[in-house]
Structures are given as C-alpha cells and as structure tokens.
Structure 1
Amino acid sequence: MGSEKQEFIWLSGLLFLNILVLSTADVHYYEFFLKESQFTKLCSTKSILTVNGSFPGPEIRVRRGDTVFVNVHNQGNHAVSLKWEGVKGSIDGSNELIQPGRNFTYKIELKDEIGTLWWHATSDWAAATVHGAFVISPATNEDYPFPAPTSDQTIILGQWFRQELTEGDKTIAPGRADAYTINGDPGVTYGCSNDTTFEMQVDYEGLYLVRVINAVANETMVFGVASHSLTIVGQNGAYTKRSFTNSLTLAPAQVVDVLLCANVNVGHYYITARPSSGTYITNGILRYLTTSS
C-alpha cells in the first residue's frame, strides 16, 4: 500500500510539472532563406548553399515545451528539405522537398527534449553546409540538474570540400573532406594564412556548458580541450548520468553536452577535432580573459 501511495504521489508530481511547463511554454518564429553564398577557405573561393548566408547556419534557441515555426524559403537552385535530429514528435512535411522558388513552414512541438539537438539538410551534399544547432534550455520554472553554468557555447564540428558539390543540374555526393572545421573555421593546420580560427573566451573559475555537435557525415570525430577535463551531462536532447572524460568520441550526427571548468593556469589552450579514421586535425583556441588570484 505504501509503495502504491508513493507511486501515485510521484506520478501526480510529474503530471503537475508537465502542466506547469506547458502553461509557461512560448511560441517562436524563424525565417530561413536557403541561398548560394561565396566563402573562402583553404585559399580558394567557392559557392556553397547556406541558410541566411552563414556557415554553419543560424542557431534556434528555445525552452523545453515550446513550439517552433521555421519558415524555409528556397532561393537556391535545387530542391531541399530539412531534418530535425532528436525531435521526438512527427513533423509534417519532413519528407517533402522544397522546390526552388517555394517555401514551407515546419511546425515543431517540443515535449520533454532538453539540451542540444540540431537540424540539417537531408541530402549529404547540402548537409555539408546547411546545418545548425537547436538549443533547448530548461523551462522558465526549471533548473539544471547540475551546477548552473556561467555561460554556454555551441561547437559544431563540420567539414569542408575544395570541389563544388553541384555541377549544373547535378549534385555530387561528397567524398573525403579536404578539411574539418570548428564552427566553420578550419584553424591554422591546413597551410593557408587566410584561414580563420575559432576562439572561445572564458573567465578563470567560470563553469561553461559546451554543446558539441558532430555534423561530419560518415566520420566519427574526436574532440578535446588541452589540459581540461570534461563532464558529460547530456546527449542527443536528454540529460544523462554525469561522467568524466578528457576527450569525446562522437559518432556521425551525435550531440554531447559537457561542463568545462576553466580552472587551470591562465593562458590559452588548443581545442582540437579530428576524424578517428584519418590524420587531418583542426584546432581552435580556448582563451582565458581574467587572471587567477
């Protein structure tokens, strides 16, 4: 009898929490414009398909239980559709191609997803440049189940191809990448002085929630920050039991949320990402802004 009463109380509390979340949920509207844009990397310029002219694409940032409308305008040359990785509910139109000159609005109703998801084009050639983060923070009346971070940072591991992935009316399936990127930046390891390097700035003793997304098709990526340990707190849109590691190994399309404590000697440290099957490596910089006492 006692266990049944406890189970009833637990279920009642869960129901109350869900009602509370739904009652404070918001509705968000985003406009995505698919178009060709010129980008220069590895000392050469090429045209790539982008969303709103950026690579990676824009970040969606909402709260648990919110509803999101994303109106996608296809101003490119090829039919494209978007996939919403980690969203549990069905999304109307996810299997339909958006033809050039047309638009379609996705309606995404979030339930208990929390942490980090991501979106990308469904075809491999377009997904190489058309992708972005989908960040879901706790609802207004919710707290993190771990120490509240000072700030958060999204890191998307991507890839770059020298070749054009479209030729006339044909699209080319990408092969092995010529470079890997952190938030679109190849870093300094590929021999081109004009390439940009991603930089994450931190304060000494700050606690940072780092959202790492592997947007590299068909490659497992290894990610780490020199001299810093990472605490895993979430994966693929859900909290997980905390675990500690010095590096992350992310399968294609995998997302891992980690806590990083900036508590080592003040300076700057390399952020690295590399495919597990190859020798290419890309790097960024973790830079301390304040000194320790």
Structure 2
Amino acid sequence: MAGSAFFMACAILVLFGFCVEAELVQHTFKVSNMMVRRYCKNKTITVVNGEYPGPTITAHEGDSLAIQVINESPYNISIHWHGIFQRMTPWADGPNYITQCPITPGNSYTYKFNVVGQEGTLWWHAHVSVLRATVYGALIILPRAGVVGYPFPNPHKEETILLGEWWKADVITLQNRALASGSAFNISDAYTINGHLGDLYRCSNKHTHKLEVEQGKSYLLRIINAALNTQFFFKIAGHRLTVVAADASYTSPFSTDTIAIAPGPTIDALLHADSHPSNYYISALTYASSPAIPFDKAASPYASAPPSASPFDNTTTVAVLSYKSSPPSSSPPIMPPLPAFNDTPTAHHFYSNLTALHPNSVPLQIDQRMFVAFGLGLTPCSVNQPLCRGNAISASMNNISFSFPTTVSMLEAHFRKIRGVYTKDFPNRPLVAFDFSNPSVNNQGSFQLTDKGTKVKKLKYNETVEVVLQNTAVLAAENHPLHLHGYNFYVVAQGFGNYNKKEARKNYNLVNPQERNTIAVPVGGWAVIRFRADNPGLWIMHCHLDGHLSLGLAMVFEVGNGPTPSTTVPPPPQDYPTC
C-alpha cells in the first residue's frame, strides 16, 4: 500500500513536471558567409555553422535553451524562434527593431528562453532583411522526458523536411533594388527540399534529398515551409499522409494526399510505407493564390501593373522516397499527379478541415474586438527610394503601412517608457469601409494609397481578443499567411468574400478549432481568430510573405504587465544589443 501511495504521488508530480529534471540545451550559432554550388553556379550565401539549412535544435518540453549567436557575417542579424511563446523572455523573441536591435557584425547575443507547454515541430530563422532565405533550421520539441509519448503510435523514424527557395542572384542585392525602386521583390529561380534543388533542375542530380523507408513501417514527417514568399502544395507519389499536428499543436488525424503549407507554418504528418516497393517522388510546387486582376492604367495612374500580373516561379522541387526492398531500376521515380498552381479549392479544403485533437479553451467572453483589413497598396516615393517614380508598392493593415523604428527597439521603448518611438492608436477597424474582396477596387486610387505609421494596439493583461482578418483585393487578391508572435490563437472560422458577422457566426467552431501561430487567410476572404493576452510584452503580427513584411504588412500588440512579479516583463539581459 505504501509503495502504491508513493507511485501515485510521484505520478502526480510527474504530471506537473517535478519528477523529471529539465535540461539546459546550449548551442552556439556562428553566422557567416559561405560559398555553395547550386543550379550550375557558385554563390555566396549567409549560413549558420557552415550548414545550409542550419542546425536542428532538439529539446524536450520543459527544457531551457541558451543559444549564443555570434555574428561573423557582414550583415546585421537577429534570430526568431518561430512559435516559441517567450513567456517572461520577450527580449529573446528576435524580430528586428521590435524586441531587439540587430546583432551587428563582430558582436554576439545569447537568446535564453524556456519551452513550457509546447511540443512538436517549430523552427528558427533570421528576422532581419531577407537573410532567412538561407538562415533557418528546425526546432523540435519532444514530449517531456520520461513522461508521455505522442498521442499516436510511435513512428519507426522521424524525418524533417524544410521547404525553401533559391535565387541565382544575391538576395540582399535584390531586396535593396526592390526597396530603392518601390517595386516587388524578384521571384525565386528554384525551390529546395532540405537545401537540395532536386533532379528536375539543371545540374542538380547530385542535389536531391533522399528518404529510404521500409515496407510496412510508419514515418513522422516534420514539414516546415521556410520559403521567403512561396506557398506550396506538398505531395508524395503513391502515398497518403495523415496530419497529426500543425504549428506544434496536435490535430485530429486528417487523411490527405495533398498538403497546403504557407511560409511560416509547420505540419506533422504520418507516412505509412504501404505502397508497392519502388521509387517515388516527394514534390513541392507553388500554390500561387493571386490571380491576374485586370488593371486599367488610365483609371489608376498611381503605378505600373500590380504584382499580381507578374509571373511566379512555376517549377517543382523533388526529393526521392525509396523502399529498401525495391529492386534496382533505371526508370525515373514515379511522379504524383500535381494540382494546378491556382487550385484554391484544394488549398482551402486542407486549411479549413483541421481541428484540434481535444476540446480546447476557446475564449467565449470577448473583451476586445478588432476588424483588420489588410493587403497591398501604394505610398508616395520617399527620398530613400531614388529609383522610385511617383508611388511605391506598400502593404498595410487598416490602411497603416508599418514603419520600423531605427534607434531603439519597441520593447525597450516600452520597458524604459521612451516616448516618440511608437503611438498607441492602431485602429480597431478600417477608417473607410468598402467592398474589400471585390477586384474592381484595384482601379480605385482612393483605396490604393496607404498611410505610414508605427502604431500598436494596447491590451490589458489577460484580456480576451477576437480579430476578424479581412483580405482585400486592392492591387492584388491573394492568400496571406499572418503570423502572431508570442501566442497561439484559435482559428474559429474562415471563408471567402467579405466577412458577414451574422452568417459567419453560424459556423464558428468554439469547441475544437485548430490552434495555430500562423493563419493562411483565404484569397479574397477572411478568418476569425481568438486569443487571451496573458503574455506581457510587444508582439508583432505580420504577413510571413517576406516581401510583404518589408512593405509594411504588420502591426504590433502591446500587452501590459500582470499583477505579480511572474507576470511582469523583467529587465533586458546584460548582452542585449543596442542600436
């Protein structure tokens, strides 16, 4: 009886995390330039520890992490730990000029944070300029050591798949040219799987990732879209996948042969090796949600044709899945049937059919309601855009195109009460209501021009928030992946057209909605998210199409301190970077 009582007591302690000792996981990231050869030519890229993609960080739930970033590159750098809540460690979140100034060349900064209440697939990436084109890697959070396993049968093996983009030209040069001219960022030349282009591209037979499987066994694929600007359809010939998690939150098992994944999100999917032993292509190709909208230069004299009329990278990257028992063959691997690049019904079916594995604590009483219309627009050329003529392409939320500060981070300004860095008047709704999802607004210049500003939405600690995210068709209608730092949120509804409160609420899922840190808001449509503001600090919400972030598609939540020391933002660390 005494032994049973001890076992029960220890089981309770384990449940609350006291019987299993958490670890300190330490890494050193040396950021530097490196020469690589891809697509028939040598090219210098920025990498971490000489690896492309960068090193994988693996920790258990409950562990503490300390990652020293040493900047040996010629560029400013900061690292964001995508999806980590950073509770009481907002100084480690990483977005440039939001929670820190960049780490300048020759200097270093140690990011220290805990991973509590999270498990699954996340990732890390540069959060300054366009360096995350090559500066990124996986961040895997395993279940707490010695406590529980996965809520599904343990796989035979796990495989991380990082999807990316590749440019023949230098991405920093391309970005500088786009910013100077007020134009859109150049499309990529190729796509990658784990840094390899795949054998469908020239000079890339040796640059094809391979996954070997055994007949009858299952494999957990941790899929991460690390691309700068491209949403993907992901398929494996001859196999279906069972989605079991998204953004490090478990989902009800969802069987599919096509995964849609925007830049930023992660998907965990089980692969069952139950097909005929052979070689199969693993493929990733563009989901280009933006149709070419008719553009009338006479009716809209503000700019050249909108970015939606530009071509996109219509190529396919592949890896090879091969069975150990398959006989040698000179035949090429089997290619899966691929969706059309603009197959929005398939993408929406995937995005809208994920639900949480268990009922979750969706806020039912709402303190703050916001309606945020967002998309592309125009702003007058500035003196910093010498190649710009008339107006430049911009992006905005509620018609505010976000301007990053340059002299101090917003979090430090908040903590030290420095005035003049930002204002607390981000509007709860658009100043002007219009037919948001109607492509004809593309020709109406009054809806195209945006205002510049550094504005935040102030929230009290523990307030509940509902945000209606309304996509607009100004200049271009497309699917935008919006990422919120510091939080997960519940996606309670999504749909097409203009949000209609009465109709939409009939379909709200307030029981087991998917829990995400990034929502791909449907092209020409909307999504409704809810969260509880229980994490003090400054948290940016922005489009994870990198070209749109630099154009101003962002806003910031300022969440106040709670009533106790454990809910109050602590001072910045001693090695905190300064501007």
**TM-score of the pair, normalised by structure 1:** 0.89
Q: Which amino acid aligns with 2:222?
A: R
User: Does the residue aligned with 2:285 lie in a helix, a strand or coil?
Assistant: strand
Q: How far apart are the structure 2 equivalents of 1:189 and 1:166? A: 27
Deviations 1:68-124 (A, max 9, x none): 111000000011101111101244242321110001100120011111000000135
Displacement of 1:20 in angstroms is: 2.6
Amino acid at match of 1:200: L
What does residue range 83-98 of structure 1 map to in structure 2 within 5 Å? 83-89=80-86, 90-93=89-92, 94=94, 95-96=99-100, 97-98=102-103
SS of the residue aligned with 1:189?
A: coil
Does residue 282 of structure 1 match 2:317?
Answer: yes
Structure 1 partner of 2:550? none
Out of 227, 235, 243, the residue aligned to residue 254 of structure 2 is: 243
Q: Which residue of 2 aligns with 1:103?
A: 108
Aligned counterpart, 1:147: 153
Give yes or no for contact 2:232–2:285 (8 Å, CA) kept in 1. yes
CA–CA distance in structure 1, aligned partners of residues 149 and 129 of structure 2: 37
What SS class does the counterpart of residue 54 from structure 1 fall into?
A: coil
Q: How big is the alpha-carbon RMSD for the aligned residues of Structure 1 and Structure 2?
A: 2.2
Residue identity matched to 1:136: I
Report the structure, 1 or 2, having the larger strand content.
Answer: 1
Q: In the alignment, does 2:263 pair up with 1:266?
A: no
Give the 3-state SS of the residue equivalent to 1:92 in structure 2: helix
Q: Quick one: distance in 2 between partners of 1:18 and 1:152? A: 26
Cα distance, 1:175 vs structure 2: 2.1
Measured in 2, the distance between the counterparts of 1:72 and 1:223 equals 32
Structure 2 residue aligned with 1:42: 39
Q: Percentage identity across aligned positions?
A: 33
- Give the drift of 1:239: 1.0
Where do residues 218-257 of structure 1 align in structure 2 (5 Å cutoff)?
Answer: 218-257=229-268
Q: Is the 8 A contact 1:221 1:275 kept in 2?
A: yes
Give ranges in structure 1 of 5+ residues lacking alignment. 1-11
The alpha-carbon distance between structure 1 residues 84 and 181, as it changes in their structure 2 partners (threshold 3 A), is: same
Q: CA deviation at 1:145?
A: 0.4
Other-structure match for 2:200: 189
**Distance in structure 2 (CA, Å) of the matches to 1:229 and 1:199:** 18
Q: Flag as ranges the 4+ runs of structure 1 deviating above 3 A.
A: 12-18, 170-174
State the alpha-carbon separation in 2 of the partners of residues 82 and 226 from structure 1.
35
Moved more, 85-94 or 114-123: 85-94
The 1:25–1:41 alpha-carbon spacing in structure 2 relative to 1, beyond 3 Å, is same
Distance 1:82 1:210, change over 3 A: same
Amino acid at match of 1:224: K
Pair 1:162 & 2:162 matched: no
Indicate if the aligned counterparts of 1:204 and 1:262 stay in contact, CA closer than 8 A. yes
Q: 1:87 to 1:242 in 2, by over 3 A?
A: same
Would the alpha carbon gap of residues 78 and 124 (structure 1) be closer, same or farther in structure 2, given more than 3 Å must change? closer
User: Which range is displaced more, 46-55 or 217-226?
Assistant: 217-226
SS at match of 1:20: coil
SS in 2 for 1:152: strand
From 200, 210, 219, give the equivalent of 2:221: 210
Aligned partner letter, 1:258:
A
Alpha-carbon distance in structure 1 between the residues aligned to 2:156 and 2:190:
32
Gaps of at least 5 residues in structure 2 are: 1-8, 180-184, 289-311, 328-579
Q: Provide the residue aligned with 2:73 in structure 1.
A: 76
Instruction: Work out which of the two has the higher radius of gyration on C-alpha atoms and give 1 or 2.
Output: 2
Q: Write the distance in 2 (CA, Å) between the matches of 1:248 and 1:126.
A: 26
2:134 to 121, 126, 129: 129
Residues 10 and 19 of structure 2 are in contact (CA less than 8 Å); yes or no, is this contact kept in structure 1? Answer: no
CA contact under 8 A between 1:21 and 1:65: conserved in structure 2?
no
Post-superposition shift, 1:201? Answer: 0.9
Distance in structure 2 (CA, Å) of the matches to 1:157 and 1:108: 26
Deviation sequence 1:231-285 (CA, Å, 0-9, x none): 0001111111111100100011110000001111111100000111252101110
Residues 118 and 172 of structure 1: CA distance in aligned 2, closer, same or farther (over 3 Å): farther
Equivalent-residue separation in structure 1 for 2:17 and 2:69 (angstroms): 31
TM-aligned CA distance change 1:230 to 1:21, over 3 Å: farther
User: What does residue 3 of structure 1 align with?
Assistant: none
Q: 1:131 to 1:63 in 2, by over 3 A?
A: same
| 2:103 partner SS | coil
Deviation at 1:16, TM superposition (A): 4.6
Q: State the match for 2:209 in structure 1.
A: 198
Contact 1:224/1:271 (8 A) holds in 2: yes
1:35 and 1:53 in contact (8 A); partners too: yes
Q: Deviations over 1:26-48 (max 9, x none)?
A: 11100100000001111011100
* TM-aligned CA distance change 1:229 to 1:207, over 3 Å: same
Structure 2 contact 66–110 (Cα < 8 Å) conserved:
yes
SS in 1 for 2:16: helix
Checking the alignment, whether the CA contact within 8 Å between 1:22 and 1:65 is kept in structure 2 is no
- Alignment partners' CA distance in 1, 2:18 and 2:53: 31
